[in-house]
Amino acid sequence: MCAHMRKKYDIPFVGEVARQILAEKEIPLDSLRANFDLINQFQKEIFYRQIKEESMDGSFISDRSLIDALAYTCQHTSLFSELMETNECKEYIKKLKQPDVYIFFVRPHAGLMKQDGVRESLDWEGSIAIDAMIKMLLQLFGVRYFDIHTSSIQERINIVESVLSTHVKSDKMI
């Protein structure tokens, strides 16, 4: 879906930062989960890199955000409170609340899960737990989001395009 939207509207794409860092460091994800210091370092790097990547462009599309990084930080590390108190996090949350920011919360579906060589396992319960944390954080921060539950890619695209065509002027699409 992101690839379609990026191409159609010709806007920059912010890739999944966690994957980039894993590839750069050549670290298998399963080894991270076994080393508490390493996972703390990894999640902190994701946090700051996500902020940096998203601040490079005005408009962009991303399949992950800092909210995702915070949910995983809460799930796997002891850094959540520390990162939440940073000025970077507070400024990021302020930006998310701007009226020209559109967040589409695309919910997971078991039928769409596939092994990708990065995730440690295809754990539906783990996906649901992270999904719940992301929703909680969006609500806790008072961030407006559009909830997408369908598993159909076409329906997902239609929902996004419908929201954007209704809310965004054509000269500033995303």
CA distance 57 to 84: 23
Q: What percent of the chain lies above the pLDDT cut of 70?
A: 89
CATH number of 2-167: 3.40.50.300
Interval 52-103: pLDDT, tens? 998 876 788 888 899 999 999 999 899 999 999 999 999 999 999 999 889 9
CA distance 108 to 27: 25
Domain extents in the chain:
2-167
CA atoms within 13 A on the CB side of 53: 22
Beta-carbon count within 10 A of 152 CB? 12
Q: Over 90: is that where the pLDDT of 113 sits?
A: no
pLDDT-based confidence at residue 168 (cuts at 50, 70, 90): low
CA distance 89 to 67: 10
DSSP 146: E
Where in 83-136 does DSSP place strands (E)? 104-106
Residue ranges of the alpha helices (H) in 1-86? Answer: 2-9, 17-25, 29-33, 36-55, 66-76, 80-84
